[in-house]
Amino acid sequence: MKTPVINAKGVCLTFETNDGPVQALKDVDLGIERGEFVSFIGPSGCGKTTFLRCIAGLEVPTGGTLTVNGLTPDEARKARSYGYVFQAAGLYPWRTIAGNIKLPLEIMGYSKADQEKRVEKVLGLVELDSFGKKFPWQLSGGMQQRASIARALAFDADILLMDEPFGALDEIVRDHLNEQLLALWARTQKTIGFVTHSIPEAVYLSTKIVVMSPRPGRIAEVIESTLPRERPLDIRESPEFIALAHRVREGLREGHDA
């Protein structure tokens, strides 16, 4: 049997703060297979961001083992195995949209011609074809966030980590971006780790929903989605969807009482 792309065994992380230690993650066991879309959901402060950052090698677990593509997170980071999308778009105001997408490509040493080709391709993927020459502040919030996703897709990483990428956007824009993200996932076959605190968003997008609970941050429940891969927006009115959403809500409540 092949090992999962992301494999966590007993991952713990304790922050040393001025007010004493804070246990952000406790005994997290999780395997994510290639091509899965995994959502992390839970109340704020339950360690979703911290776990994603551990996968990205931005934090180092204080216990347990964690591998990404069979490498340590740090090696995976150096091998440029994933793209990371933060909650804020974080585009550089002094670069155009195309310039922003090129930034990681420049850093990773892609050739000029290759850079142009890739920029064009990912701008198409996020439907921003004609906006390459615009500056970020000339775009709406939703378009900026799409540009930042394009930036994470521009290089050949087969993992995409997203930390509440649509958290700051309104409901309508969010629905649209969710739909686009699914289409993009279907086309690119990437493995996606996605943090959210919206139940419908988690259910709509994921093949696997990881419900987390706080103090200390841990996994309360892992729910495998029964929805088909092909998901039109109105699937959210189906009984199957509602049943899943209910299970997630129950999981969150139990985690909270514990």
Partner 1 sequence: MTKVVPVLTVIVALVLIWYAAAVGMNAQWARDQAARAETTLGFGELVVDTWSQDRPVLPAPHQVAQGLYDSVLAIKPTSKRSLVYHGWITLSATLAGFGIGTLAGIALAVGIVHSRAMDMSVMPWAIASQTIPILAIAPMIIVVLNSIGISGLLPKAIISAYLSFFPVVVGMVKGLRAPDAMQLDQMRTWSATNSQTFWRLRLPSSMPYLFASLKVAIAAALVGTIVAELPAGATRGLGARLLSGSYYGQTVQIWSALFAAAALAAALVVIVGLIERGVLKRMGMAQ
Ligand X SMILES: Nc1ncnc2c1ncn2[C@@H]1O[C@H](COP(=O)(O)OP(=O)(O)O)[C@@H](O)[C@H]1O
- Is residue 181 a contact point for ligand X (CB under 6 A)? no
**To the nearest whole angstrom, how small is the minimum distance from the Cβ of residue 132 to ligand X?**
32
CB atoms within 10 A of CB 178: 20
- Is residue 124 a contact point for ligand X (CB under 6 A)? no
| Footprint (CB under 6 A) of ligand X, residues 14-33 | 15, 17, 22, 24
Based on CB atoms, which residue is closest to partner 1, 106 or 240? 106
Using alpha carbons, list the distances in angstroms from residue 233 to 35, 130, 180, 202, 207.
21, 26, 11, 13, 16
Torsion of CA 224, 230, 234, 240, to 10 degrees: -30
Q: How many residues bind Mg ion (CB under 5 A)?
A: 1
Cβ atoms of residues 136 and 91 within 8 Å: yes
Q: How many residues bind partner 1 (CB under 8 A)?
A: 25
Tell me whether residue 151 is exposed, middle or buried, using C-beta atoms within 10 angstroms of its C-beta: 0 to 12, 13 to 18, 19 or more.
buried
d(CA 206, CA 99): 31
Based on CB atoms, which residue is closest to partner 1, 4 or 57? 57
| Footprint (CB under 6 A) of ligand X, residues 37-56 | 42, 44-50
Residue 88 contact, options partner 1, ligand X, Mg ion, none, Cβ 5-8 Å cut-off depending on partner type: partner 1
Residue 69 contact, options partner 1, Mg ion, ligand X, none, Cβ 5-8 Å cut-off depending on partner type: none
Q: Can you give the binding site for ligand X, defined by CB under 6 A?
A: 15, 17, 22, 24, 42, 44-50, 217
